[in-house]
Amino acid sequence: MTETHNPEAETRNKADLLRSLGHLARGLSALFWGLPASLVICVETARTGWLKSFGFIPALAATGLLIFGLWQMGDFQKQERPWRNALDRAKLLGLVNFGLCPFLYWHNRMPRESFFSAAILVLVLSAVLFLFNLNAVLKQLGAMLPDETLRHETGLFTALNRWLLALLFLLSIAYVVLLRVSQMPLEFGVLVIWLDRLGLWLLTFLALLPLAMTMALIWKTKETILDSVFAVK
């Protein structure tokens, strides 16, 4: 028994695929620009420098851009459970970051408020976990695309990124614990004072390498998708 050839169904499936690939490329672009924007704007919001007059609105816009990008990517391969699970985890952490970023501004206005300080620590840990899960999303996406070179590079660099981010997560926890210990030798007390002054900048610096590699993977994945779209006859 031969299968019935249905040109109309093939055309419809092809149009759906092209539309989902377009949303995927748009989402990757939002992530590519949103990651560095979120880092810079959130740090400036915590310092209340040149963004002082705008309050926490820029931080909400930057973290909201990341959520928008993940939402756009959700239209692609909805039937793939590992891909959907990784994407949903990243969305959840993105929402946590979106909800906590105003505390950066409020803590700067009221630095003695312990609740605001605790919220910022949770935000830092959530941001590291977000980047960790975003690499899991890129790994799953690379496994579904037909480019063998991209699949190999994505698997290699996302694994390296996740090790670096796991180390950063542990260092962040150790930083929080050191700041909360009240009694310790004098030498450690001096270390804690310096960590208290430089801790945010130190964690930001340690996050730059996995952030840069994640952005490179996002850009290459987007270019591969665009090449496949324009190659479709």
Question: Where does the pLDDT of residue 148 fall: very low under 50, low under 70, confident under 90, or very high at 90 and above?
Answer: confident
Region 122-150 average pLDDT? 89
Q: Which DSSP string do the residues of 79-96 spell out, in sequence order?
A: T-HHHHHHHHHHHHHHHH
The verdict on residue 5 lying in a domain is no
The verdict on residue 78 lying in a domain is yes
Pairwise pLDDT comparison (64 vs 227), residue with the higher score:
64
The verdict on residue 100 lying in a domain is yes
Domain count, the chain: 1
Please give the model's pTM, rounded to 2 decimal places: 0.81
pLDDT at 174 (0 to 100): 73
Pairwise pLDDT comparison (2 vs 173), residue with the higher score:
173
The verdict on residue 1 lying in a domain is no
Cα–Cα dist 42/126, whole Å:
13
Q: Does the pLDDT of residue 135 top 70, yes or no?
A: yes
The verdict on residue 142 lying in a domain is yes
Domain housing 48: 10-231
Q: Does the pLDDT of residue 1 top 50, yes or no?
A: no
pLDDT at 203 (0 to 100): 66
76 secondary structure, DSSP code: S
Percentage of residues of the chain with pLDDT beyond 90 = 27
Q: Does the pLDDT of residue 171 top 50, yes or no?
A: yes
Q: What is the mean pLDDT of the chain?
A: 80
The verdict on residue 4 lying in a domain is no
Token representation of residue 73:
């990517």
Q: Does the pLDDT of residue 59 top 70, yes or no?
A: yes
* DSSP H stretches of helix in the chain: 7-47, 57-73, 81-100, 102-109, 114-144, 148-180, 186-231
The verdict on residue 2 lying in a domain is no
Interval 77-130: pLDDT, tens: 888 888 899 999 999 999 999 999 988 888 878 877 788 888 888 888 899 899
Q: Does the pLDDT of residue 177 top 80, yes or no?
A: no
